[in-house]
């Protein structure tokens, strides 16, 4: 592969962001991003991922946004009801205004080991999608928080309830890559045990 430096730059420059333009993402680009997700390695060829893309302003999006607001209010540890309500509204609006949402699920395996392998493979698929999206100027925010914790999510999205929610991806064209904070990484030698 002659483009190894391009791959290295893509990996190192990709950042998690919600700093999006309101510009619409075409279904063609979303389909291609999803396609890149299925090319992740998966032991035993289980292809354990399930993707649920949700367009802006769809009834499903609006319904989940309300559920997110309720989740924040019901689970807040803040005793200030006004602050909690404001936080809940911000979370709801962030979900509603995002140009595209993709929920990612991992199928349950036939054993604990296979279930863990499936989750790992599905996480890799998220990285594949994030890298490809970044190459198109589309940013991705991978949330495992509020949008993934609402009651009845699988049922609402018509996903088998034995699946595990790997994340909710917020996608949008990036306002400016210059405004995205680059956080330093540890030296590889601090995370490696050479033998």
Query: Tens of pLDDT along 145-169?
Result: 999 999 999 999 999 999 999 999 9
Query: What pLDDT, on a 0 to 100 scale, did the predictor assign at position 183?
Result: 86
**For residue 71, pLDDT beyond 70:** yes
Asked if residue 5 belongs to a domain, the reply is no
Average pLDDT of the chain?
95
Give the residue numbers spanning the domain of 162.
19-176
The domain that contains 62 carries what CATH number? 3.40.109.10
Confidence of residue 185 (pLDDT cuts 50, 70, 90): very high
**Looking at the domain assignment, is residue 49 inside a domain?**
yes
Q: Is the pTM of this model over 0.85?
A: yes
Residue 187 placed within a domain: no
Answer whether residue 1 shows pLDDT above 60: no
DSSP string across the chain: -TTHHHHHHHHHH--B---B-SPPPPHHHHHHHHHHHTTS--GGG---EEEEEEETT-HHHHHHHHHHHHHHHHH---S-HHHHHHHHHHHHHHHHHSSEEEEEEE---SSHHHHHHHHHHHHHHHHHHHHHHHHTTEEEEEE-SHHHHSTTHHHHHT--TTSEEEEEEEEEEBS-GGGSPPPP---GGGG----
Q: How many domains does the chain have?
A: 1
- The predicted pLDDT at position 155 comes to 97
């Amino acid at each position: 592969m002659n483009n190894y430096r391009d791959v290295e730059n893509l990996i190192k420059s990709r950042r998690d962001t919600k700093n999006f333009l309101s510009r619409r993402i075409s279904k063609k680009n979303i389909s291609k991003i999803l396609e890149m997700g299925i090319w992740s390695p998966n032991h035993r060829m289980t292809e354990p991922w399930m993707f649920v893309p949700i367009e802006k302003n769809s009834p499903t999006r609006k319904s989940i946004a309300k559920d997110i607001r309720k989740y924040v209010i019901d689970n807040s540890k803040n005793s200030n009801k006004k602050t909690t309500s404001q936080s809940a509204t911000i979370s709801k609006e962030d979900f509603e205004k995002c140009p595209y949402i993709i929920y990612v699920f991992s199928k349950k395996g036939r054993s604990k080991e296979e279930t863990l392998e499936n989750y790992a493979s599905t996480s890799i698929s998220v990285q594949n999608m994030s890298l490809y999206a970044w190459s198109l100027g589309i940013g991705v925010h991978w949330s495992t928080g509020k949008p993934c914790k609402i009651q009845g999510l699988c049922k609402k999205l018509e996903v088998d309830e034995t699946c595990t929610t790997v994340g909710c991806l917020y996608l949008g064209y990036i306002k400016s890559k210059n405004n995205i904070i680059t956080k330093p990484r540890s030296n590889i030698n601090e995370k490696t045990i050479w033998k």
